[in-house]
Structure 1
Amino acid sequence: MKKALFAAVVLAAMPFAALADDDDDAGPEAGMGLAGVLSKSNREALPALTLSTGQPIAKGPLTLKSGKYYTLKIEADGSQELALEGAGFFRAIWVNEIVIEGIEIRPLGVDSIEFDEAGEAEISFVAIKPGSYHLKIPGSTGDTQQVAITIE
């Protein structure tokens, strides 16, 4: 009975022993820190998206890497009530939080973000599912009224 209990304890401790070995050589060259994908070394700020009547949303397409943590700022100038929709994109990422005027929101899902007046929102997320996606102004057809996003 004691041998079975000892064996169970040793087997249960094995994953933790492997983690302890990884900590000994942890450094910048070893990859991410203890926070994993949320580590500072895995974060990147994307160029801001702009919502303004008749103006392009972005300067060009965005290319993201699966497993990387990103922050995306969306700025609206208030020239018109405008939204960004992209259900496919929002389902391909894990949203950590959306910050609007200092208020942090941690949603289970997002379909679109709408600005009734001038303002700013910042989304922090981890790219998950590789593919090609779009964020666009609903009802628009112009290429400048959307941003192409590729997750590799």
Structure 2
Amino acid sequence: MRIPVFLAAMAVTAPAMAAPLCDDLGFAGLLAACNRGDPIELTLASGQPLGEDVVLQSGAYYKMNITADGSAELAIEGPSFFRAIWMNEIVINKIEIRPMAVDSIEFDKAGTAELSFIAIKPGAHVIRIPGSQGDSQQITVQIQ
């Protein structure tokens, strides 16, 4: 059967997919231990750098630990980052939260929040302290 030229021009190939970090994901799927990247550490402290830029693999599982020292009431925001991941859970004081969406997280006192997620959407995403101006008050998360 001959395909008309205009239909052949419309044919597209499937987009390139990023591979998970391991071949045998097993029963746990993308949450398997072999599919976990290095933890990401962020520090919320008055006048201190937030953290370092990171590169993540799409399809891999990560944990982000956000620790506030209580020196000021501080938050982080990163709407494009939070929309580029699938959030598994946020753990605060041993309480597990499974949110549908997150826009920001604010700390009134010292403490740690642990986010676990799957990186999904490739691109550069900024996480920053709202209202801050300095480059050290934000990080770029590059998802490949």
TM over 0.5: yes
C-alpha contact 1:45 1:72 (8 A) present in aligned 2: no
- Give 2:84's aligned residue: 92
Q: How does 1:7-22 map to 2 (within 5 A)?
A: none
> Shift of the alpha carbon at 1:34?
2.1
SS at match of 2:27: coil
1:147 counterpart = 2:139: yes
Calculate the TM-score normalised by the size of structure 2.
Answer: 0.82
CA distance in 2: counterparts of 1:45 and 1:71, whole angstroms: 8
Q: How does 1:57-136 map to 2 (within 5 A)?
A: 57-58=50-51, 60-136=52-128
Higher Cα Rg: structure 1 or 2? 1
- Note closer, same or farther for the CA distance 1:40–1:142 as it changes in structure 2 (3 Å cut): same
Moved over 6 A (4+): none
Per-residue CA deviations over 1:29-77 (Å, capped at 9, x if unaligned) read 743222211111101242310000000010x211000000000100000
RMSD between superposed Cα atoms in Å: 1.1
Calculate the TM-score normalised by the size of structure 1.
Answer: 0.78
CA distance in 1: counterparts of 2:93 and 2:131, whole angstroms: 27
1:36 counterpart = 2:29: yes
C-alpha contact 1:69 1:126 (8 A) present in aligned 2: yes
CA distance in 2: counterparts of 1:40 and 1:46, whole angstroms: 13
Q: For structure 2, which runs of at least 5 residues remain unmatched after alignment?
A: 1-21
For 2:59, the aligned partner's letter is G
Q: For structure 1, which runs of at least 5 residues remain unmatched after alignment?
A: 1-28
User: Identity across aligned pairs (percent)?
Assistant: 57
C-alpha contact 1:80 1:116 (8 A) present in aligned 2: yes
Query: Could you tell me which of 26, 48, 53 is aligned with 2:46?
Result: 53
C-alpha contact 1:99 1:123 (8 A) present in aligned 2: yes
Aligned residues between the structures: 123
